[in-house]
Amino acid sequence: MKHYFLKWINLCLTGVLAWLGYSCEPHFACDYGVPLNEVLVNGKVCDEEGNPIEGIGLKIIGANIESEAEYDSWLLKFSEPDGSFQVKSSFVKGTDDYTAQLVALDVDSADNGEFLPDTTELKDLQNLDFRDVDAWVSHAEVNDVKVVMKKVTENNQE
């Protein structure tokens, strides 16, 4: 009898917490009712000679950023055949830390040549011109970000 009572209490507590917006999401605690600043980063990935690279995985990481999980391939956005990319991330409005990095990873290895990982600093995100989409979300864009990937050689191979 005690076992059924505890299961019933557990079910009720789970339902109430879910109704209030609590969940087991590991990388972004603020899901419901939190004002966000969305940032869309547009740019191009190329090698050191200026040739576009297709299939490079990109994501934004940093403090107070929604996509802060590890480098899971299902979270990456990939560059197009012309090297162009668009990556979107969200920041909690009103935070002091808007520092972020755009991380580029060659996840397919030799299919498009082998390239070393690259990190590009995204600066002054709090100073962007955010436009209100609605009462909870503002949107801004960072354009013309150039990511230059270095080819893997015998000298720099990790």
pLDDT for 157: 64
Residue 128 lies in a domain: yes
CA distance 7 to 125: 47
Residue 1 lies in a domain: no
Residue 16 lies in a domain: no
pLDDT for 82: 94
The order of strands in the sheet holding 57-61 is 77-78, 57-61, 100-105, 118-122
Interval 115-142: pLDDT, tens = 888 988 887 777 788 888 877 788 888 8
Residue 3 lies in a domain: no
State yes or no: pLDDT of 31 exceeds 70. Answer: no
Q: What is the pTM of this model?
A: 0.69
Domain containing 104: what range? 35-149
Phi first, then psi: give them for residue 93, nearest 5 degrees. -60, 145
Residue 26 lies in a domain: no
Interval 13-29: pLDDT, tens = 887 877 776 655 444 44
pLDDT for 146: 93
* Largest CA-CA distance found in the chain, in angstroms, rounded: 73
pLDDT for 129: 83
Phi first, then psi: give them for residue 46, nearest 5 degrees. -145, 165
Residue 129 lies in a domain: yes
The chain-wide mean pLDDT, for the chain, equals: 78
Q: Are 106 and 150 in contact (CB under 8 A)?
A: no
Interval 46-105: pLDDT, tens = 999 999 999 899 988 875 555 434 444 456 788 999 999 999 887 777 666 677 888 898
CATH number of the domain residue 142 falls in? 2.60.40
State yes or no: pLDDT of 32 exceeds 80. Answer: no
Residue 13 lies in a domain: no
State yes or no: pLDDT of 109 exceeds 50. Answer: yes
Could you tell me the pLDDT band of residue 110, with boundaries at 50, 70 and 90? confident
pLDDT for 51: 93
Residue 10 lies in a domain: no
Number of domains comprising the chain: 1
